[in-house]
Amino acid sequence: MKSKILALLGSTLLTGTAMAGGYQVNLASQRQIGMGHTGTGLNTGTSSIFFNPGAMAQARNGITIGASAIVSKIAYQAPESNSTVMADNPTGTPFQVYGVYGITDKLKAGLGVYTPFGSTVNWGDEWTGRFGLNELSLKAIFIQPTLSYQITDKLGIGAGFVYSTGGVNLQRSIPLENEGGEGKAELDGDASGFGYNVGIFFQPTAKLSLGLNYRSQVDMEVEDGTAEFDVPASVRARFPESTSFGAELPLPSTLTLGIGFNPSEKLTLAVDISRVGWSAYEKLRFDYGAPVNGSNFTENARNYDDAYIYRIGGEYKVTDALALRAGAYYDETPVQDGYLTPETPDADSRGLSAGIGYSINENISLDASFLYINKKERTDPSNLSGGIGGTYKSIAYIPGLAINYNF
Amino acid sequence: MKNFIHKSGALALFAGVLTLTSCDPEIDNFQPSTGAELDLTKYVAVGNSLTAGFGDNGLYREGQLNSYPAILAQQFALVGGGEFVQPLFTQEQANGSGYLKLTGFTPTGSPITTPVTTNLARRSPNSPLLTKFTDPINNLGVPGIKVADIKTQGYGSTQGNPYFERITPDANAFQTYLQRVQQSDDHTFFSLWLGNNDVLSYATSGGASAAAANQITPTATFQANYTELLDALTENDQEGILATIPDVAGVPFFTTVGPVVKQSLTAAGAAGMVAITGAGKTRTQFATAQINVPVTGVLFTLTGSTYAPLLGAPTGKYWRDLARSVASDPSNPLIVRGTLAQLLVNYEIDTTKAFGFSAGNPWPSALLLDQTEQAAVKTATNEFNTIIKNLATAKGLALFDANAFFTNIQTGFSLNGVGYSPAFISGNLFSLDGVHPTPRGYAIIANEMIKAVNNTYGAKIPKVDETQYRAVVFP
């Protein structure tokens, strides 16, 4: 049953439109989304595999399956113009599956499959910036086997190995036209990479818990992608119909410090501060197997900056079965002025979330979440990244559901 | 109770999703307006081929539809501008005067252009005259017109400029261009981009023509005529925009062949060349290093591209071609041969000598703008532009400094993921004649004008999306 669902998720669902800073997608647990996606300083159950493997040793045996639907809207307006273009993004569906099983009382094994990065943006082939981008789909599914050990009552540690698999598809128009229309380029390739996720969880008192988590950078490498070029016949000699390409995209590291506070039995409060190592993303380079318009590669500067995310969230247990949640966060953009691109028209973003948890019985519970993301309107000349200058504004509505089964 | 809360909560969530998803992000940092002074109700455009929408060495419907005045009027309409009528060729005669099409490249990468000769608007097959359009129009752009021509009686007659003849009412066949402009008294806004041909026809003919039409306009004539024309346009204190004249050395017509010649001379170790200067037979010499140097060097015309590969060969091809085109009866081989013999005598040509390297077989004057000629063009361009700029300042009009614009973009620029430069064909800005812009180039010019109008009048006229206009069409 489980493998069937997994197969279904991998084949039919895309990972989300990038709705955190850059192309990060912070939607790892429906319960935690409801709490502003805090959780590093809490025992979050099975999802500790993601938030803090150090806390996983305290999780009950169980399985969690959840998914979100990202309805994102991005508007673009050219400089000194009043006509607005909207990207027609497909609904993104990041998902998460976690399973935890206790080998002993103190040692637990877990497996997580989740989608912490991705981007699907579709501007179409008619907008002003089509020679920069028509459509980009970036997918990454992390598979993370994890072990966690409870050293003392107060202290747990955990580590997971990350194998990432995914792919990239990029389409853009080429500014060479014949009577049939403009040229097109499409790059498509599978990518994979490796990394790790480690954490420490410390609970000095019943009311206070602390967590420190480090998710490493994962370099996604495309080794033998396919690049296809459709151009007018008279310039065909400059563009191969099909050639191979290679590229590397860093999925940045995230270091998070989290604090959990339980002022009463019913109330849990949490704060997380993350530093995301975006400075690893310096450039986007494609190396081609055959010369394309006279060059074996294309390269555009990205020069992202490291960025911080500040999160706050809370959960209130109305009854034993029903929990209400709310949270908020502020996510700094890693994109410097002059470097904005239509792939990730990023800006400082504000997230507001709410959620409900309901236990049907001892073993089965449901979590529903809703997250609203509002990125600041941003005007950028995009003169340093080869991007498309103008004003961008993004918002997203992200409902999600999860089912937990504990045993 | 539990159940109830659960259900209503889910319902609220669902309702929330529905409501919120209908909310799109809005960007409202640009509110279009004309500002306080500008009235765009009736716009008239006065000028030459650039204003008419000329491109690819012809005036045809597509070029007209994408003329910069048409683009301006379209953007003006977003802030209350009125209807803008152009003397469009009909769909049936869409190819107008005929134009050049890119049909391929030679093995060495030189473009091959082919004239379009179907669906023309010619009144009869061998006549330069075009199908009349005598309804009232807003676009008064006349290809080929100079400031020097605006008071010429009969300029719109069948013996005059066929493009002006086309829009001149039969009842008033001897009306001058100035009189035609003076007729318009209810326009509220105008553009005036005139003067290019006052230097350009001299330059494109390589300074080789003795014809009056190919001389540089005297500065005094330019000043007097331009002022009178502008006075007519501002009779009721109308607002408007003037544009300056770009340097000829910045257009592909003068910059495409030179580098090729320079490269082959350098490769062959040739120190320089011999050419004819001016309209006579006087020879001039120049060094290889002077080729394609603005102002102080020499520029080769695009029309020389056919003959550049023949450098060093004992050839008389240029003179044979010239004889065919100037002979009184080109279909009579005897007459053509006689004309050729006369040309060779007049210009003292010995076609057995090395073409371009020998005083006996020099590079023709018509295919070269030498130092003296280039300096004359530059001086006149500067004087004309000073007049235009001074008038713009004196009358408080907007100014598109086309000279500064084209000088600034000589090294190229990037806009919305497309590279632009003054390079022939690959630069995207210039059409196949090497002088007139592509529709994309015209859209970029229109945006520069909108910027100037917005700055001068405190207006917020939206810019156009230049990528919606084509550059060169490849086969």
List, for residues A70-94, the tens digit of each pLDDT value: 999 999 999 999 889 999 888 889 9
Please state the pTM of the whole predicted model.
Answer: 0.90
pLDDT band at B245 (very low <50, low <70, confident <90, very high): very high
Average confidence (pLDDT) over B35-63 = 96
For A216, other C-beta atoms within 10 Å of its C-beta total: 17
Contact B322, B306 (CB under 8 A): no
pLDDT in the model for residue B314: 93
Average confidence (pLDDT) over B448-471 = 97
pLDDT band at B109 (very low <50, low <70, confident <90, very high): confident
Interface test with B, best of A72, A82, A370 (most B CBs within 10 A): A82
For residue A239, the distance in angstroms to the closest alpha carbon of chain B comes to 14
pLDDT band at B16 (very low <50, low <70, confident <90, very high): low
pLDDT in the model for residue A12: 31
List, for residues B371-397, the tens digit of each pLDDT value: 888 999 999 999 999 999 999 999 999
pLDDT in the model for residue B213: 84
| Tokens matching residue B128 | 């330069």
Chain A to chain B, count of Cβ pairs less than 8 Å apart? 119
pLDDT, tens digit only, all 407 positions of chain A = 333 333 333 333 333 344 556 788 899 999 999 999 999 999 999 999 999 999 999 999 999 999 999 999 999 999 999 889 999 888 889 999 999 999 999 999 999 999 999 888 999 999 999 999 999 999 999 999 999 999 999 999 999 999 999 999 999 999 999 999 999 999 999 999 999 999 999 999 999 999 999 999 999 999 899 999 999 999 898 899 999 999 999 999 999 999 999 999 999 999 999 999 999 999 999 999 999 988 999 998 999 999 999 999 999 999 999 999 999 999 999 999 999 999 889 999 999 999 999 999 999 999 999 999 999 999 999 988 888 999 999 999 999 999 999 98
Strand partners, A208: A261
Torsion of CA B25, B30, B36, B42, to 10 degrees: -100
Among candidates A78, A388, A392 on the partner chain, residue whose Cβ is nearest the Cβ of B463: A78
pLDDT band at B11 (very low <50, low <70, confident <90, very high): low
Q: Please name the residue that has the structure tokens 């003006």.
A: B76
pLDDT band at B21 (very low <50, low <70, confident <90, very high): very low
N residues, chain A = 407
pLDDT band at B349 (very low <50, low <70, confident <90, very high): very high
The answer on pLDDT for B1 being more than 50 is no
Angle at CA of residue B437, ends B434 and B443, nearest 5°: 165
Structural element, H or E, at residue A71: strand A71-77
CA nearest neighbour of B60 among B88, B80, B84, B41: B88
Interface test with A, best of B71, B112, B440, B467 (most A CBs within 10 A): B467
Rounded Cα distance between A75 and A121, Å, is 11
Rounded Cα distance between B264 and B309, Å, is 9
pLDDT band at B14 (very low <50, low <70, confident <90, very high): low
A317, A353, B131 from A325: Cα distances, Å: 9, 8, 76
Rounded Cα distance between A137 and A131, Å, is 16
User: Judging by beta carbons within 10 Å of its beta carbon (0-12, 13-18, 19+), is residue B28 exposed, middle or buried?
Assistant: exposed
pLDDT in the model for residue B329: 85
List, for residues A147-204, the tens digit of each pLDDT value: 999 999 999 999 999 999 999 999 999 999 999 999 999 999 999 999 999 999 999 9
Among candidates B21, B417, B454 on the partner chain, residue whose Cβ is nearest the Cβ of A71: B21
Strand partners, A85: A76
* 3-state DSSP percent of chain A in helix, strand and coil, to 5: 10, 60, 30
* 3-state DSSP percent of chain B in helix, strand and coil, to 5: 40, 15, 45
Rounded Cα distance between B427 and B434, Å, is 11
CB contact (8 A) between residue B417 and residue A386: yes
CA nearest neighbour of B434 among B102, B63, B104, B57: B57
Dihedrals phi, psi of B70, to nearest 5 degrees: -65, -40
| Tokens matching residue B432 | 């196949």
Torsion of CA B379, B382, B386, B389, to 10 degrees: 160
- List strand residue ranges (DSSP E) for B164-266, in order: 189-193, 239-243
Structural element, H or E, at residue A192: strand A181-202
Return residues 346-375 of A near B (CB < 8 Å). 354, 356, 358, 368, 370, 372
The answer on pLDDT for B19 being more than 60 is no
A10, A106, A114, A143, A385 from A111: Cα distances, Å: 16, 17, 10, 7, 39
For B297, other C-beta atoms within 10 Å of its C-beta total: 19
ipTM of predicted assembly, 2 dp: 0.87
Contact A85, A122 (CB under 8 A): no
| Tokens matching residue B217 | 């306009």
pLDDT in the model for residue A181: 93
The answer on pLDDT for B297 being more than 50 is yes
For residue A234, the distance in angstroms to the closest alpha carbon of chain B comes to 6
Dihedrals phi, psi of B170, to nearest 5 degrees: -55, -35
**CA–centroid distance for A207 within its chain:** 31
Dihedrals phi, psi of A141, to nearest 5 degrees: -115, 125
pLDDT in the model for residue A19: 52
| Tokens matching residue A346 | 């990023």
Q: Percent of chain B at pLDDT above 90?
A: 76
Average confidence (pLDDT) over B33-48 = 94
DSSP-assigned letter for residue B231:
H
For A49, other C-beta atoms within 10 Å of its C-beta total: 34
Structural element, H or E, at residue B177: helix B177-183
pLDDT band at B13 (very low <50, low <70, confident <90, very high): low
Average confidence (pLDDT) over B221-243 = 97
pLDDT in the model for residue B3: 47
Q: Is A396 helix (H, G, I), strand (E, B) or coil?
A: strand
| Tokens matching residue B305 | 């591209």
- List strand residue ranges (DSSP E) for B305-396, in order: 368-369
